[in-house]
Amino acid sequence: MNAENLLWMLVPPQERNGFAALPNPVWICDDHFCMIYVNPALLAITGRPIEEIFDEGWMDLIHPYDLTMVLMARKDAYEKRTTVQVNYRLKLSDDQYIWFSETISPYQNKGINGLIGCAMDIDELMTHSTHDSMTGLYNKGFFNDFLIQLSAQRNNSTLTKFAVFSIDVNDLKPINDQYGHINGDKLIIKVAKFLSSVSRPGDVIARVGGDEFALIVQGRNLNESAMIKRCNYIKTACSEMLLELPHRQIPISIAIGSAIYSGQSIEALLKEADEKMYIDKSITKANQA
């Protein structure tokens, strides 16, 4: 029996016709979270044939960083028989991801005991609420929420490790005072573009303060030696850049520190990275004296 036949057998015609007319993606899954119905809107948005979404194929369309959270939301909705809302990134037909907000509720009909979900495109809203307007990087709110999500996933599974880098731009205040905030903003934007250029697939970069940035990396082989090596690489590469000012060029300098998550609180993790960053900053100042 192919997927189309199964769809026609399990979903009543009146419901199927109603869902087909909706502009938003709608799906129905069984008690194992295997898809048994998706409406045309979901097929159109993802650009996938129905066979690739049925059963567990839908998981390939969820951003890898969001999949555990989506599965936990569906588990809560099914086990607690309640409605749950979750935001996640969905892969489109062009393989780009955009944000959707999905409402998940228990579903029972004709022997089906599963869930029904309806999603809404919130990409523009999420982009404004999760990104820094000056640099286009993620903002502090998204960074903190993402850290909480990662720590919850790691505490409940054997997923890959993650670490954070705390990065501070040196001498922003003197540049603002001497050359004006326009040039100070140019410095921040240049550092943001630099951090994006040295990031790896899967890294999350955020501007978390006026002259402060943060980086989240994930991997199975994270260790203190690898973190020190990455810090040195980023710091050295940044020192090769110059800020172009009227009639002069100023070397760009950052301070950086890192910490690996090992089950400690998020506050302790960030504190460790910040402390290492401030040690690096003090060493830089001492060498310049």
Q: What is the pLDDT of residues 17-54, one digit of tens each?
A: 888 889 999 999 988 898 888 999 999 999 988 888 88
Domain segments of the chain: what residues?
3-126, 131-288
- CATH architecture label of 131-288: 2-Layer Sandwich (3.30)
Q: How far from 174 is each of 90, 242, 245, CA to CA, in Å?
A: 44, 16, 13
CA dist., res. 144 & res. 150, Å (int): 10
Token couple for 177? 């005072």
Q: What is the pLDDT of residues 237-268, one digit of tens each?
A: 999 999 998 888 999 999 999 999 988 999 99
Residue 253's CB: how many other CB atoms inside 10 A?
A: 17
Quickly list DSSP for 160-223. PEEEEEEEEETTHHHHHHHH-HHHHHHHHHHHHHHHHHH--TT-EEEE-SSSEEEEEEEETT--
Q: Is 27 helix (H, G, I), strand (E, B) or coil?
A: strand
Distance between CA 250 and CA 74 in Å, rounded? 53
Given a cut of 50, whether residue 3 has pLDDT beyond it is no
Summarised one tens digit per residue, pLDDT across range 211-237 is 999 999 988 788 999 999 999 999 999
Q: Helix or strand or coil: residue 109?
A: strand
pLDDT category, 2, cuts 50, 70, 90? very low
Please report how many Cα atoms fall inside a 13 Å half-sphere around the Cα of residue 209, on the Cβ side. Answer: 10
Instruction: Inform me whether the pLDDT recorded for 160 exceeds 70.
Output: no
Residue 16 has pLDDT above 80, yes or no: no
Give the three-state DSSP class for 256. strand
Predicted confidence (pLDDT) per residue in 106-129, tens digit: 998 877 889 999 999 988 877 788
Q: Contact 258/163 with Cβ under 8 angstroms?
A: yes
What fold does the segment set 3-126 form as a domain? Beta-Lactamase (3.30.450)
Out of 88-92, 172-176, 218-222, 250-254, pick the least confident.
218-222
